[in-house]
């Protein structure tokens, strides 16, 4: 299948909804609208012309492990070298280490393109950016000097080594050890599994960020430290030194993203250096984890866009039956299936979910930028709270959305969707991992309630609801948007009440946290998207009233907003009813009663 970046919609989100140029001016990075659009056009050409053509072959060829070395699919190495040479790898890197300092608001559009073009290819560079964040924030001056510039450039790549066979979500169970040495380094021993890009032939060096325990560490998660353990130990100033004592023991044979090497990594007394303070590794890793979870959300968005494009292209071309109201293409033997209501339902569901998530992604990226770059400390703190609230929703809902939209694409294609050559079944397989890694979506839902909602008694969520409520009050005065505004306003009130109910339930019975969490996250996401669709509708209505000249584009926004509120938003009601069902019906039956 082919892919073309949805540049018009991306420009709508960046410029018309979120004023990317004004945002960049506030951050002081020198980017204006003309430069942003030029970068996006080059990015679109690279994603469509260089990366997307690799996707199907990477799925069929996969990665190969021989004598401890992993070879990536044909074309990946050359494409990665071009990715680095063109400066895409350094896009978001800190400028003091030769990065370009692009804000997340702009970069997330390019990253979505990469995810859509080939998720396997993007996996290799995605975690490197998280490693840069963690090292830049927590690393010593010496580690930054020797490693950071090469990571920023993409010449070296990074990984995140958390999971062990017995320790996935529960990091308190990890066993990897780090023994202190006289020279200040540590000898790291243990095995990690599911390490994306743990070994590959794309970069000169691979820098692993490894969670391990020091000999005197306290039990549990309070005794975890973070160490930098490179494949090749850097010389002073960032050259390649001696090979470290670590190796790839195996690569996983997976359901999807077969072009991305997923490795078992063995550390056999490998030299490592502490990042941050001893026993504070989890806090350091969360710097990387939040970025990784946002990026995984973008993976779901990219998959969704690719699936929507494939389904739309096929629906316009495939001829089957006549329309229920008569022939729509009388010069042809049958009508294109896009004329059939059920196909329209699937396409509009895809379109409204993908475009709604794109708005939420940009809004979240803007908060991530302001958390680090706002001029006032209070603004940075406020943005950090907002980003923390939204990250679990973005990660979980976007990836669920990607799987749903890919499934709709298979359905639009009918039997052809089940066949490899059309590409839709690959999108379904590739997207499935996004609901699992960087914390399963169930874990994201627990995080939303335990750390975010209960953490401040719902204060940040109430502030978010109030912002959208103000938007509703304004747009309710406009006849063209009054119905949409009243619908969203009613849901916002219900969301506020439901949040209070979830807090009360959770305080009475801790089991309710887990019992309500997934449905509450889903409910929250559907209502959030409704708020953004109202904002999009208002912007489109403004453009139409101003006579912008792009009538079809803006009318499509209004149509999509109305469809979302009438046909997708009602899903929130089922999630509300389910979570109010309580924990008793989940937990009352003894575990033994689940037997066959």
The answer to whether residues 469 and 564 belong to one domain is yes
User: Do residues 337 and 315 lie in contact, with contact meaning Cβ atoms separated by under 8 Å?
Assistant: yes
**Would the CA dihedral through 225, 228, 231, 233 be positive or negative?**
negative
The answer to whether residues 521 and 447 belong to one domain is yes
What is d(CA 383, CA 464) in angstroms, rounded to the nearest whole number?
Answer: 11
Q: Give residue 551's pLDDT.
A: 97
What is d(CA 525, CA 246) in angstroms, rounded to the nearest whole number?
Answer: 42
Structural domain range at position 116? 7-134
The answer to whether residues 165 and 125 belong to one domain is no
The distance from CA 409 to its chain's CA centroid, rounded to whole angstroms, is 20
Query: Which candidate, 277, 290, 265, places its Cα nearest to that of 198?
Result: 265
How many domains is the chain partitioned into structurally?
3
Q: Report angle CA 175, 178, 180 to the nearest 5 degrees.
A: 155
The answer to whether residues 445 and 580 belong to one domain is yes
In the numeric block, which tokens belong to residue 71? 């070879």
In the numeric block, which tokens belong to residue 356? 């709604």
User: Do residues 156 and 206 lie in contact, with contact meaning Cβ atoms separated by under 8 Å?
Assistant: yes
The answer to whether residues 188 and 265 belong to one domain is yes
Query: Which candidate, 296, 244, 282, 287, places its Cα nearest to that of 265?
Result: 244
> What's the 3-state SS for 462-485?
HHHHHHHHHHHHHHCCCCCCHHHH
In the numeric block, which tokens belong to residue 537? 């509708």
3-state secondary structure of 269: strand
The answer to whether residues 187 and 98 belong to one domain is no
What is d(CA 354, CA 350) in angstroms, rounded to the nearest whole number?
Answer: 6
Q: Give residue 291's pLDDT.
A: 86
Query: In sequence order, what are the residues at sequence separation of 6 or more whose Cβ sits closer than 8 angstroms to the Cβ of residue 259?
Result: 54, 55, 58, 59, 61, 62, 63, 72, 73, 76, 118, 120, 121
Q: Which residues of the chain have pLDDT under 70?
A: none
User: Do residues 540 and 550 lie in contact, with contact meaning Cβ atoms separated by under 8 Å?
Assistant: no
User: Do residues 20 and 32 lie in contact, with contact meaning Cβ atoms separated by under 8 Å?
Assistant: no
Q: What is the CATH number of the domain that holds 17?
A: 1.10.540.10
CA dihedral 465, 112, 392, 253 (to 10 degrees): 160
The answer to whether residues 114 and 168 belong to one domain is no
In-domain check, residue 40: yes
The answer to whether residues 112 and 33 belong to one domain is yes
Query: Which candidate, 52, 62, 212, places its Cα nearest to that of 119?
Result: 52
Residue 202 has what DSSP assignment?
S
Phi, psi of 522 (to 5 degrees): -65, -45
Q: Give residue 537's pLDDT.
A: 98
In-domain check, residue 35: yes
Residue 41: how many other CB atoms lie within 10 Å: 12
What is d(CA 87, CA 344) in angstroms, rounded to the nearest whole number?
Answer: 40
In-domain check, residue 377: no
In-domain check, residue 371: no
User: Do residues 19 and 58 lie in contact, with contact meaning Cβ atoms separated by under 8 Å?
Assistant: no
3-state secondary structure of 367: helix
In-domain check, residue 419: no
Residue 72: how many other CB atoms lie within 10 Å: 26
The answer to whether residues 165 and 276 belong to one domain is yes
Q: Give residue 287's pLDDT.
A: 79
Which residue shows structure tokens 């943005």? 383
Among 253, 281, 309, identify where a domain stops. Answer: 281
In-domain check, residue 489: yes
Among 103, 134, 165, identify where a domain stops. Answer: 134
The answer to whether residues 89 and 225 belong to one domain is no
Q: Give residue 172's pLDDT.
A: 80
Report the DSSP beta bridge partners of residue 157.
206
Secondary structure (DSSP) of 381-401: HHHHHHHHHHHHHHHHHHHHH
The distance from CA 389 to its chain's CA centroid, rounded to whole angstroms, is 15
Query: In sequence order, what are the residues at sequence separation of 6 or more whose Cβ sits closer than 8 angstroms to the Cβ of residue 223?
Result: 213, 214, 217, 279
Among 254, 281, 308, identify where a domain stops. Answer: 281
The answer to whether residues 64 and 112 belong to one domain is yes
What pLDDT digit, counting tens, does each position of 438-455 carry? 999 999 999 999 999 999
Report the DSSP beta bridge partners of residue 190.
267
The answer to whether residues 180 and 259 belong to one domain is yes
In-domain check, residue 27: yes
Residues forming the active site: 438
Q: Give residue 237's pLDDT.
A: 85
Q: What is the CATH number of the domain that holds 192?
A: 2.40.110.20
pTM of full prediction above 0.75: yes
* Antiparallel, parallel or unpaired: β 225-230 and 205-212: antiparallel
CA distance to 259, 270, 356, per residue, from 408 (Å):
24, 47, 17
In-domain check, residue 425: no
Report the DSSP beta bridge partners of residue 243.
232
Helices 424-432 and 377-413: crossing angle in degrees, nearest 10, is: 140
């Amino acid at each position: 299948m082919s892919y073309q970046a949805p540049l018009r919609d991306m420009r709508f989100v960046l410029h018309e909804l979120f004023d990317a140029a004004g945002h960049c001016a506030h951050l002081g990075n020198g980017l204006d609208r003309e430069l942003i659009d030029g970068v996006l056009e080059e990015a679109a050409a690279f994603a469509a012309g260089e990366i997307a053509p690799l996707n199907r072959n990477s799925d069929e060829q996969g990665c190969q492990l021989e004598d401890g070395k992993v070879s990536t699919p044909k074309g990946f190495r050359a494409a990665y070298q071009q990715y680095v040479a063109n400066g895409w790898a350094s896009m978001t890197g800190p400028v003091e280490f030769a990065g370009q300092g692009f804000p997340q608001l702009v970069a997330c559009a390019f990253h979505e393109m990469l995810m859509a073009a080939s998720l396997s290819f993007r996996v290799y560079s995605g975690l490197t950016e998280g490693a840069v964040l963690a090292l830049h924030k927590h690393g010593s001056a010496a580690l930054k000097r020797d490693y950071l510039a090469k990571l920023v450039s993409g010449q070296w790549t990074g990984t995140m080594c958390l999971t062990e066979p017995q320790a996935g979500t529960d990091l308190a169970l990890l066993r990897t050890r780090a023994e202190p040495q006289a020279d200040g380094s540590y000898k790291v021993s243990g095995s990690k599994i599911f390490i994306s890009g743990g070994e590959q032939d794309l970069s000169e060096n691979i820098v692993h960020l490894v969670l391990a325990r020091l000999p005197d560490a306290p039990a549990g998660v309070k005794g975890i430290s973070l160490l930098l353990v490179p494949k090749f130990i850097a010389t002073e100033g960032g050259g390649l030194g001696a090979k470290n004592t670590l190796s790839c023991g195996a690569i996983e044979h997976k359901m999807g993203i077969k072009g991305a090497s997923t490795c078992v990594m063995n550390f056999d007394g490998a030299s490592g250096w502490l990042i941050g303070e001893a026993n504070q590794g989890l806090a350091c890793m969360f710097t990387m984890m939040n970025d990784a979870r946002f990026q995984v959300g973008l993976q779901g968005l990219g998959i969704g866009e690719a699936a929507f494009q494939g389904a739309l292209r096929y629906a316009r071309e495939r001829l089957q039956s006549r329309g229920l109201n008569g022939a729509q293409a009388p010069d042809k033997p049958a009508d294109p299936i896009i004329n059939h209501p059920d196909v329209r339902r699937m396409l509009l569901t895809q379109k409204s979910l993908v475009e709604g998530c794109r708005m939420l992604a940009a809004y979240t990226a803007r908060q991530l930028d302001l958390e680090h770059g706002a001029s006032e400390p209070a603004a940075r703190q406020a943005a950090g709270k907002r980003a923390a609230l939204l990250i679990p929703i973005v990660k979980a809902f976007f990836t669920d959305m990607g799987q749903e939209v890919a499934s709709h694409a298979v359905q639009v294609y009918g039997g052809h969707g089940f066949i490899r050559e059309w590409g839709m079944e690959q999108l379904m397989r590739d997207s499935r991992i996004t609901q699992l890694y960087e914390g399963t979506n169930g874990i994201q839902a627990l995080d939303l309630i335990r750390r975010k909602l209960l953490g401040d008694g719902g204060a940040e969520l109430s502030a978010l609801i109030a912002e959208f409520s103000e938007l509703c009050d304004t747009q309710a005065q406009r006849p063209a948007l009054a119905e949409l505004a009243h619908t969203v306003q009613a849901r916002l009130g219900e969301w506020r009440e439901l949040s209070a109910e979830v807090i009360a339930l959770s305080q009475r019975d801790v089991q309710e946290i887990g019992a309500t969490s997934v449905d509450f996250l889903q409910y929250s996401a559907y209502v959030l998207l409704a708020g953004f669709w109202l904002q999009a509708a208002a912007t489109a209505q403004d453009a139409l009233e101003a006579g912008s000249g792009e009538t079809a584009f803006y009318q499509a926004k209004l149509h999509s907003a109305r469809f979302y509120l009438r046909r997708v938003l009602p899903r929130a009601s089922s999630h509300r009813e389910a979570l109010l069902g309580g924990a008793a019906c989940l937990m009352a039956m003894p575990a033994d009663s689940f037997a066959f």
